[in-house]
Amino acid sequence: MARVSATAEAPRAAKPRHARSASASSGSPRRPQTGYRPLPGNRWVGWAGPLAVTAVAGILRFTDLGRPDAVVFDETYYAKDALALLRFGSEQAFLEGADDTILASDGNWRTLDVFSGDPGFVVHPPFGKWTIAAGEWLFGMTPFGWRFAVALLGTLSVLLVARIARRLTRSNLIGVTAGLLLALDGIHLVMSRTAILDMVISFWVLAAFGFLLLDRDQVRKRWLSNDALSPAMWGPRLGPRPWRWAAGISLGLACGVKWSGLWFVAVFGLMTVIWDVGLRRRLGVENPWSATLVRSAPPAFVAIVGSALVVYLLTWTGWIVTDAGWGRQWAAGQEPSIMPDWLRSLWHYHAQAWSFHVSLESDHSYQSNPLSWFLQTRPTSFFYRGGEEAAGTCGGENCSIAINAIGNPVVWWAGAIALIHQVWRYVAHRDWRSGAVLAGVLAGWAPWLLYLDRTIFTFYTVVFVPFIAIALAMSLGALLGPADAPLDRRRWGAIGAGAIVLAAVAAAWWFYPVWTAQPLTYLEWTWRMWMPSWV
């Protein structure tokens, strides 16, 4: 049995706030009492398991990626927006019947003419569409082409989750379990196989989280694994933080896909500063909050917020350097200003897009309330073909071909319980790992509670489902128990944890046809619609 990290079960006991060593109270430096805890020693094992579950994820996501040979859900916007970026550098208005023209073509994006010649007003930044465009550039304007890059990011997300969970818990087993649970989730799978924006933002948010974990480990290894002593008043300067800059770049790319990435900038920025407070406390700093606000917060702001802002602006390069984008010449008709015209026009564009977002209240048959997301009571139907259109595809007359963005019920329902367990771990035991995972969930979910009247969908959860997979894997590790637990405790823990994982595998097998548009009889399709609200 692979060793399960004790940190997932028994974090460091909290030190009383009033307790201070004699050396700290006298103002002299002291040595940290505990050192940096290294990762599991066998690096080959640490990569073999994550790569194996990534291979599983890739098979599930790339098999028949071009099915259905149709424009699915909001692909009708983003696939053509991506084509416009390739052709013109900015989004353009479409001709009526553009989807049919594209599907009937040979897929040569250089010659396709489906645009009216007018600029298109779109309300999301360009980077997600540039990502989709990369696949179209490589493989043509076909369903496989416009889905390729998103499927690749979805597959790589599984690798990231497995490695991130391993680093969080110092457990190869928990890391592999987290990756497998994400690979088998229906929301993540459907969004990986569909050319819309949410998987792209999910990937870059996850990458930013991983970079901040690397930063945390690097700094702690630097200061808790050597013999250097630190002043009690302010503590040391923590040194260069390249991983924070990488996190800022990733968050800038996330914001360049959808503005909801801003919440992760705020939450992750606060999270990494709080981690610095904890480090300074362990180093014996008398005023860790004051020292962190003076020494860590300003450079953290520059590294994360500053780099994110610069990268975000760079994602608009195509719109800035060309003249065909919507509103690009708006400033030319305004009073002169010291601000460059392109920046004034971009600001105006953002104001118009913001007005659209906050006023979007039109009803949609598949919109859902964020309070219901964890129970997956109203998933989104991306595609359905039945009746005469599907006749004969299943070997009979009454057939159904569907894509339903339904989360794996085992992952989501057990994951909801796991989140409650992680809240308890964080509140009762001050487990920073639980707090980090909860931060990822809250940044992706809680902001939508401010817009309960807005038209929103369950598939927005793809941005935080990786953190649910990690939370569930951590709770399964706690159920399994520490490596030195009594044999009976480990046996029953292994049976319980293993049963949940096997149930997730079985659920993925059962729902895979309605995640990937495989033909079923109508009766077989109804068997998979467990709730009336799923139809």
Partners of 404 in the β-ladder: 381
Residue 31 — very low, low, confident or very high, per pLDDT cuts 50/70/90?
very low
How many degrees, rounded to 5, is the angle at CA 457 between CA 452 and CA 458?
105
Least confident range of 2-16, 139-153, 500-514: 2-16
| Counts of helices then strands in the chain (DSSP H, E) | 21, 5
Q: Which residues contact 195 (CB under 8 A, 6 or more apart)?
A: 72, 75, 78, 79, 82, 132, 135, 146, 147, 150
**Does residue 229 carry a pLDDT above 70?**
no
**Does residue 23 carry a pLDDT above 90?**
no
DSSP state for residue 26 in the 8-state scheme:
T
**Does residue 222 carry a pLDDT above 90?**
no
Mean pLDDT computed over 236-253:
92
Least confident range of 19-23, 128-132, 400-404: 19-23
- The pLDDT score that the predictor gives to residue 358 is 73
Measured CA to CA in angstroms, residue 65 lies from 68, 167, 261, 516 at distances of 8, 32, 27, 8
The two tokens of residue 16 are: 């009383």
Mean pLDDT computed over 123-146:
97
- The pLDDT score that the predictor gives to residue 225 is 64
Reported pTM: 0.91
* Rounded CA separation 140/106 (Å): 8
Cβ burial of 483 (10 Å; 0-12, 13-18, 19+) is middle
**Does residue 141 carry a pLDDT above 90?**
yes
Bigger pLDDT: 8 vs 365: 365
Tracing tokens 């406390």 back to the chain, one arrives at 281
Cβ burial of 229 (10 Å; 0-12, 13-18, 19+) is middle
The two tokens of residue 204 are: 């870059």
* Rounded CA separation 363/367 (Å): 7
Tracing tokens 């949410």 back to the chain, one arrives at 198
Is there a contact between 495 and 505 (Cβ–Cβ < 8 Å)? Answer: no
- The pLDDT score that the predictor gives to residue 228 is 53
Is there a contact between 178 and 470 (Cβ–Cβ < 8 Å)? Answer: yes
Mean pLDDT computed over 52-62:
98
Is there a contact between 209 and 168 (Cβ–Cβ < 8 Å)? Answer: no
Residue 38 — very low, low, confident or very high, per pLDDT cuts 50/70/90?
confident
Residue 263 — very low, low, confident or very high, per pLDDT cuts 50/70/90?
very high
Mean pLDDT computed over 213-242:
77
Least confident range of 50-54, 72-76, 105-109, 367-371: 367-371
pLDDT tens digits, one per residue of 344-390? 999 999 999 988 877 766 667 788 889 999 999 999 999 999 988 88
**Does residue 258 carry a pLDDT above 60?**
yes
Is there a contact between 270 and 212 (Cβ–Cβ < 8 Å)? Answer: no
Taking alpha carbons only, the member of 430, 435, 426 closest to residue 17 is: 430
Mean pLDDT computed over 480-495:
91
Measured CA to CA in angstroms, residue 498 lies from 260, 477, 495, 524 at distances of 36, 10, 5, 28
Q: Which residues contact 182 (CB under 8 A, 6 or more apart)?
A: 57, 157, 158, 161, 188, 465, 466, 469
Residue 300 — very low, low, confident or very high, per pLDDT cuts 50/70/90?
very high
Backbone angles phi, psi at 258, to 5 degrees: -145, 150
Residue 14 — very low, low, confident or very high, per pLDDT cuts 50/70/90?
very low
pLDDT tens digits, one per residue of 179-215? 999 999 999 999 999 999 999 999 999 999 999 999 9
Residue 529 — very low, low, confident or very high, per pLDDT cuts 50/70/90?
very high
Backbone angles phi, psi at 230, to 5 degrees: -125, 145
**Does residue 317 carry a pLDDT above 70?**
yes
Backbone angles phi, psi at 289, to 5 degrees: -70, -45
The two tokens of residue 127 are: 């980077």
- The pLDDT score that the predictor gives to residue 285 is 85
- The pLDDT score that the predictor gives to residue 43 is 79
Backbone angles phi, psi at 70, to 5 degrees: -160, 170
